[in-house]
Structure 1
């Protein structure tokens, strides 16, 4: 699971912006300026008979600052 959803920097983070792109999701920010320190992204590839699935998860980051539910802009 991506830790970004509970990080205070999610709306301005360029690594999360990349993950949004890989998941073909709309971006929270058009031009993120925050560059996190030492993010670790796991790319999980699974396949079955009909298609391949790729999942990108940021699992470690020295810049992580916990703020639960940060991805939910309506709740902030």
Structure 2
């Protein structure tokens, strides 16, 4: 799971913006202004039906991470938290 959903900077972060783009998810911000320090993005390649291939992106570590439990949920109330 991406640690960004519980980070103070999720709506301003360029790394999370890239993850949103890879997932085809709507952006929390169109022009994020925070360049995070040393984000570590885990990429998983998965086999899908009919010979398709899927890619999952998750930020697993970041030097700029500051815990703000539930930050993503407060920014998008009523929406399911991305996993």
Specify the TM-score bucket, using the shorter chain as the normaliser: over 0.9
Aligned to 2:81: none
Q: Does 1:57 find its partner at 2:58?
A: yes
Q: TM-score, normalised by structure 1?
A: 0.92
- Which 4+ stretches in 1 moved above 2 angstroms? none
Deviates more, 1:40-49 or 1:27-36: 40-49
The residue correspondences of 1:17-56 to structure 2 (distance < 5 A) are 17-50=17-50, 51-56=52-57
Considering only aligned residues, what root-mean-square deviation do their CA atoms show, in Å?
1.3
SS at 1:71 equivalent: helix
Structure with more helix by fraction: 2
Task: Provide structure 1 residue ranges, at least 5 long, that are not aligned to the other structure.
Answer: none
